[in-house]
Amino acid sequence: MWEDDQLYLVGEALVGKVPELAHIDLIVGEKDGPVGQAFANGLSNVSAGHTPLLAVIRPNLPSKPFTLIVPKVTVKDMDQASKIFGPAQAAVAKAVADATEEGVIPQDKVDDLVIVCSVFIHPEAKDYRKIYQYNYGATRLALKRAFLGYPSLEKLMYDKDRATHPVMGFRVPRLWMPPYLQIALDIPDIARTKSILGALPRSDRIILEAGTPLIKKYGARVIHDLREIAKDVFIIADLKTLDVGQVEVDLAYEETADAVVASGLASKETLDKFIYEAKRLGIYAFVDMMDVKNPLETLRSLDELPDVVIIHRGIDEEHGGLTRWELIREIKSTFAGKKILVAVAGGIEPSTAPKALESGADILIVGRYITQSKDIERAARDFLKLLGVDMDLYRVHVE
């Protein structure tokens, strides 16, 4: 809906398949506002290969609101020009006219508004009917989205960590829907580690940890090596940083880690720099509280909270039977309203995992039970069946 005090509306849509695929970006605004100025500048300032043109249904019949088409791809010859000055031009114009007839664009505003529409035509596109069809559909959709204010903030928050950009060719997983199974790859043998990865079941709930022994033997480069097999999986670099936090975050980041781990025993200054650098680079900061006497006190002292806190019982302590899982609820209640996840580690097995989950654990960190199993897939599924269905199992892509 157009409001008189608005400066402009923005719409975007992608429709079809390559090479005729259409991608439309447009802005709608009043003639005496910033869009009107952009419209006049675009029409009067012609650049080589990106000549703007009015959208016309046929020669001498422009649509209303007047619409300026700007080619995104440099037009190098008449063959490319004819696709713009033909099916694309007609498609955009007809879409604007139909949107006006339908009431998407207010009919009482057609002489006050103008549209600037950026149009993508692939140089290898050949089918004029598809060029028309896809650009018509994309323009109609972009206009409707512009006037509806799409996407809503709720839609954006729901999809931002689920979505995969089709041109990238890989996913960038985020920890948006716990619980997760974090598999600690601690065996300092890259061949054995890769065989373990190959045996794991595919699941959105599995995340991987490049364990400290593995990194100590092969260096941070081992994270990049794991990507050869686990291209779309969330990978954590367990560096157990104690000093030079900023430097070690950078090392893990350069090797494509999604997260990096510092020891809670590090100084406040080191942890603050570690967390700051991780968040600056857009990766997760984990802090491992193994041997930390008062994790809550450590967390309260920090300038900024980490993304994940690990309640960790060391291998050498597992015979004692203490878990400290009561800290999970204490952390979550103390920092209520903050976005913080809690992981548990140290001798986690299927028999103890339900209690950890009941205590509020968001991540189960499991090593030997899976990595030293004779049946790695079965061992992993022993935990996955406790975590619920894959988060994307029933999701249908409708856009």
User: Quick one: DSSP state of residue 267?
Assistant: -
237 three-state secondary structure: strand
130 three-state secondary structure: helix
Distance CA 186, CA 193 (A): 8
284 three-state secondary structure: strand
Distance CA 55, CA 68 (A): 6
69 three-state secondary structure: strand
Contact present, 271 and 245 (Cβ < 8 Å): yes
Give Cα separations from 392 to 189, 229, 364 (angstroms). Answer: 32, 21, 20
Name the amino acid, one letter, at 315: I
Burial (Cβ within 10 Å: 0-12, 13-18, ≥19) of residue 146: buried
Using omega within 30 degrees of 0 as the cis cutoff, is the peptide bond preceding 178 cis? no
Using omega within 30 degrees of 0 as the cis cutoff, is the peptide bond preceding 295 cis? no
Has 224 been annotated as catalytic? no
Name the amino acid, one letter, at 191: A
Distance CA 72, CA 37 (A): 20
User: Quick one: DSSP state of residue 150?
Assistant: P
Listed residue (71, 132, 130, 140) closest to 102, CA to CA: 140
Can you tell me which residue has the tokens 């103890």?
352
- Catalytic residue, chosen from 23, 122, 312, 319, is 23
Helix %, strand %, coil % of the chain (to 5): 40, 20, 40
Residues marked active site are found at 23
